[in-house]
């Protein structure tokens, strides 16, 4: 059996971090299994679906490196849905209902007020032909519900949550088609999963009850069930479901200068028993992905953890991986010198400006002027052969008696304008003798 997974976002908005995690896990499982990862745009909501959102979804997945093997749009598949819907009507698995939304909401409130579950009472099934005619005469058009089989429990072995059991009598017959003829999520998703040969449906635990009803739809259509896996939802760093998570997406990460591999490294293992580590290549994440590592506890997403992970990855990146994003003239030696002080690659440009100028260091303390004058005089006689910083500081220590911070800090400030930064031995070599002398002279 070829493993086939799918990511099926609705192009009614941008992907958020929870969507990205689901897409990644589906992609990882397909790649580990040597199978296929499909992108399906669930755009049955024609009013809210937008081409620009579909384009953004493709761009986000591409930035993350989550390539897909095939793509489909539900809006191209309405004829197939119609065909299967008619078959379900003929077999008695769907039925029309004429209640208005207001009527349904009132019944729901009554049931809740009595302490009962708000399950649809199937009143539509007992309508007489005269009552149906009266509804039609009022101009009412029916919505359509899938009739659940109440005679047997719904069972499946979830790859993350284990054995699952639902009593169908405690579930409402789901509405699958609106009165205007438009489709809701439930039935088209099942029809497409069957037609596309999807073998594994991996999604958030908020879909567990959907899965219970969809399992009966697979059976009604005579299809084999895919395997299901429902992972715990993400929470914010404060430990609660956070609205902010709904606004965090690829654009936020990209604009913040984060590496795609930082996002993948975190989300691939978030909610699992595996250690979250910085990776510069996705292969270890593919090889280690396993549903057995994931539990039912909420998975906490922390932007601070992502930033730290990103910083570690930046420190691991070779020059060849970033050369195209570095300032003109910045070579491998410069990258190696500056890299340990970066949180994001874009900060390299700030340090490179310190190396190349224009330069404007703060005025030195009065007691440091003679010290910097001595540094200028001594540096003039020191060859730039890779050991110039050690030679300069040793000579200054011997002549002035300074050591530690009083020795190093005035030099760093005069040469870089900063109190901290990359290794001065490497920076001084990048700055060059002529420019270093000019900087010391201007501050002496």
**Cis amide bond preceding 358, omega within 30:** yes
Mean pLDDT of 314-324: 97
pLDDT per residue as tens digits for the range 120-145: 999 999 999 999 999 999 999 999 99
> What percentage of the chain has pLDDT greater than the value 90?
91
Mean pLDDT of 407-436: 95
Pairing state between β 234-235 and 299-300: parallel
Q: Name which residue leads in pLDDT, 1 or 70.
A: 70
Give binding residues as ranges.
243
- 273 has a pLDDT exceeding 60: yes
Query: Which residues fall within 8 angstroms of residue 303, CB to CB, at 6 or more apart?
Result: 237, 248
Q: What is the pLDDT of residue 358?
A: 84
Domains and CATH numbers, the chain: 4-79+183-235 (3.40.50.620), 89-152+166-177 (3.90.800.10), 243-316 (1.10.1160.10), 319-356 (no CATH), 366-443 (1.10.10.350)
SS3 assignment, position 270: coil
Q: Cβ–Cβ contacts within 10 Å for residue 405, how many?
A: 10
pLDDT per residue as tens digits for the range 190-244: 999 999 999 999 999 999 999 999 999 999 999 999 999 999 999 887 655 555 6
pLDDT per residue as tens digits for the range 55-95: 999 999 999 999 999 999 999 999 999 999 999 999 999 99
> What percentage of the chain has pLDDT greater than the value 70?
98
Q: Which residue has the tokens 């410069």?
A: 334
Mean pLDDT of 286-305: 94
Give binding residues for ATP as ranges.
243
Mean pLDDT of 268-290: 97
């Amino acid at each position: 059996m070829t493993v086939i997974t799918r990511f099926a976002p609705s192009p009614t908005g941008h992907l958020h971090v929870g969507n990205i995690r689901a897409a990644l896990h589906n992609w990882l499982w397909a790649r580990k299994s040597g199978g296929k990862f499909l992108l399906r745009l669930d755009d049955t909501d024609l009013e809210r679906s937008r081409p620009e959102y579909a384009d953004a979804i493709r761009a986000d997945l591409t930035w993350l490196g989550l390539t897909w093997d095939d793509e489909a749009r539900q809006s191209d598949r309405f004829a197939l849905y119609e065909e299967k819907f008619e078959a379900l009507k003929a077999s008695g698995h769907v039925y029309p209902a004429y209640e208005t939304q207001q009527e349904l909401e009132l019944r729901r409130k009554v049931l809740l007020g009595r302490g009962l579950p708000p399950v649809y009472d199937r009143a539509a099934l007992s309508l007489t032909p005269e009552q149906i005619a009266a509804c039609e005469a009022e101009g009412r058009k029916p919505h359509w519900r899938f009739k659940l089989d109440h005679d047997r429990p719904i069972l499946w072995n979830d790859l993350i949550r284990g054995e699952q059991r639902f009593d169908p009598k405690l579930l409402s017959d789901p509405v699958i088609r609106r009165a205007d003829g438009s489709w809701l999520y439930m039935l088209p998703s099942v029809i497409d999963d069957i037609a596309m040969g999807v073998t594994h449906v991996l999604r958030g635990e908020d879909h567990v009850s959907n899965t219970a009803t969809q399992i009966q739809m697979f059976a009604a259509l005579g299809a084999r069930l895919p395997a299901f896996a429902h992972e715990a939802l993400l929470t914010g760093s404060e430990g609660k479901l956070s609205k902010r998570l709904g606004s965090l997406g690829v654009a936020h990460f990209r604009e913040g200068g984060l590496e795609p591999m930082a996002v993948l490294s975190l989300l691939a293992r978030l909610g699992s028993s595996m250690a979250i580590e910085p990776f510069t290549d996705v292969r270890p994440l593919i090889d280690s992905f396993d549903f057995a590592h994931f539990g039912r506890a909420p998975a906490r997403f922390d932007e601070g953890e992502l930033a730290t992970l990103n910083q570690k990855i930046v420190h691991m990146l070779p020059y060849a991986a970033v050369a195209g994003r570095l300032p003109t003239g910045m070579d491998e030696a410069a990258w190696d010198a500056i890299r340990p002080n970066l949180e994001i690659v874009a900060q390299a440009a700030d340090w490179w400006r310190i190396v190349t100028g224009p330069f404007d260091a703060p005025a030195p303390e009065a007691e440091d002027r003679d010290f910097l004058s001595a540094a200028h005089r001594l540096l003039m006689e020191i060859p730039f052969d890779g050991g110039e910083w050690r030679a300069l500081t040793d000579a200054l220590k011997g002549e002035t008696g300074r050591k530690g911070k009083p020795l190093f800090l005035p030099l760093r400030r005069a040469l870089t304008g900063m109190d901290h930064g990359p290794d001065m031995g490497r920076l001084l070599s990048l700055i060059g003798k002529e420019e270093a002398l000019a900087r010391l002279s201007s501050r002496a």
